[in-house]
Amino acid sequence: MNAGQADAARLPIMLAELRLPTVHRLWPVFAERADKEGWPAARFLATLVEHELAERVTRRIERHRLEARLPPEKTLATFDFSAVPKVRKAHILALAAGDAWLEKGANILVFGPPGVGKSHMASALGHALVDNGYRVLFSRTVDLVQRLQVARRELALPAALAKLDKFDLLILDDISYVRKDQAETSVLFELIAERYERRSLLITANQPFSAWDSVFQDPAMTVAAIDRLVHHATIFELNVESYRRRAATRSRATASAGDNHDDNHPEGRDAPTTSETTPSPATLS
Q: Confirm or reject binding of residue 127 to ligand ADP (CB under 6 A).
A: no
Q: Confirm or reject binding of residue 79 to ligand ADP (CB under 6 A).
A: yes
Q: Confirm or reject binding of residue 206 to Mg ion (CB under 5 A).
A: no
Q: What DSSP line would sit under the chain, residue for residue?
A: --HHHHHHHHHHHHHHHTT-HHHHHHHHHHHHHHHHHT--HHHHHHHHHHHHHHHHHHHHHHHHHHHHT--TT-SSTT--GGGSTTS-HHHHHHHHT-THHHHTT-EEEEE-STTSSHHHHHHHHHHHHHHTT--EEEEEHHHHHHHHHHHHHTT-HHHHHHHHTT-SEEEEE-GGG--TTSS-THHHHHHHHHHTTTSEEEEEESS-GGGGGGTSSSHHHHHHHHHHHHHTEEEEE--S--HHHHHHHHHHHHHTTT---GGG-HHHHS----EESS--HHHH-
Using CB under 6 A, count the residues that bind ligand ADP: 16
With CB under 6 A as the contact rule, the residue among 34, 107, 111, 117 that binds ligand ADP is 117
Residues 234 and 276: beta-carbon distance below 8 Å: yes
How near is the Cβ of 175 to ligand ADP at its closest, in Å?
Answer: 12
How near is the Cβ of 84 to ligand ADP at its closest, in Å?
Answer: 6
- When CB distances to Mg ion are compared, the closest residue is 119
Q: Confirm or reject binding of residue 62 to ligand ADP (CB under 6 A).
A: no
With CB under 5 A as the contact rule, the residue among 119, 186, 222, 239 that binds Mg ion is 119
Q: Confirm or reject binding of residue 236 to ligand ADP (CB under 6 A).
A: no
How near is the Cβ of 173 to Mg ion at its closest, in Å?
Answer: 6
**Segment contacting ligand ADP by CB under 6 A, of 46-54, 59-67, 71-79, 150-158:** 71-79
**Segment contacting ligand ADP by CB under 6 A, of 95-103, 117-125, 184-192, 229-237:** 117-125
Q: Confirm or reject binding of residue 123 to Mg ion (CB under 5 A).
A: no
Q: Confirm or reject binding of residue 39 to ligand ADP (CB under 6 A).
A: no
Determine the Cα–Cα distance for residues 265 and 251; give it in Å rounded to an integer.
11
b/e 98-132 (16+ beta carbons within 10 angstroms → b): beebbeebbbbbbbbeebbbbbbbbbbbbbbbbee
**Segment contacting ligand ADP by CB under 6 A, of 6-14, 113-121, 207-215, 254-262:** 113-121
Binding mask 184-223 for ligand ADP (x = CB under 6 A): ----------------------------------------
Interacting partner of 28 out of Mg ion, ligand ADP, none (Cβ under 5 to 8 A depending on kind)? none
How near is the Cβ of 70 to ligand ADP at its closest, in Å?
Answer: 12
Q: Confirm or reject binding of residue 243 to ligand ADP (CB under 6 A).
A: yes
Using alpha carbons only, give the angle 82, 88, 94 rounded to the nearest 5 degrees. 135
Q: Confirm or reject binding of residue 126 to ligand ADP (CB under 6 A).
A: no
Q: Confirm or reject binding of residue 119 to ligand ADP (CB under 6 A).
A: yes
Q: CB under 8 Å to 50, separation ≥6 — which residues? A: none
Binding site for Mg ion (CB under 5 A): 119
Binding site for ligand ADP (CB under 6 A): 74, 78-80, 83-84, 112, 114-120, 243-244
